[in-house]
Amino acid sequence: MIRLLGGALLLSISTLASADPVAFKAISTGDLTKAERTLASQVAAGSTEPGVLLNLAHVYRTTARAAQAQALYRQVLAEPNVQMGKPDGSPAWSHDLATAGLARASQFAAR
């Protein structure tokens, strides 16, 4: 799974073979409308995949919807903590990413 959070692209090894389930291409090219459509449809279908939730939270935060982003970050924190990999190969944990995203979303909400 590939994720973008706070400007850092993240990928989950389990979904590298998938087409683009976490809207990596759309996010990396700035097409947040397409990314949101892709990710929101997966959430509506019941996905609790951390990459989907984290990327949709990023889209919401980037488009000034901090409350919606916060809800998704909290949802990630309610799920099992999974290790993810960054493009440079370094590890990242889903709960660490959600905690950092939640802090950023809270800063945006306070503005």
Q: Measured in Å, how far apart are the chain's first and last C-alpha atoms?
A: 31
pLDDT per position as a tens digit, 47-77: 999 989 999 999 999 999 999 999 999 999 9
Provide the token pair at 72.
């998704």
pLDDT at 8 over 60: no
- In sequence order, what DSSP letters do the residues of the chain get, joined into one string? -EEEETTEEEE-GGGTTSS-TT-HHHHHTT-HHHHHHHHHHHHHTT---HHHHHHHHHHHHHTT-HHHHHHHHHHHHHSPP-EEE-TTS-EEEHHHHHHHHHHHHHHHHH-
pLDDT of residue 13: 43
**Residue ranges of domains in the chain, CATH in brackets:** 2-110 (1.25.40.10)
Average pLDDT in the chain: 83
Q: What is the pTM of this model?
A: 0.78
Q: Average pLDDT, stretch 29-46?
A: 94
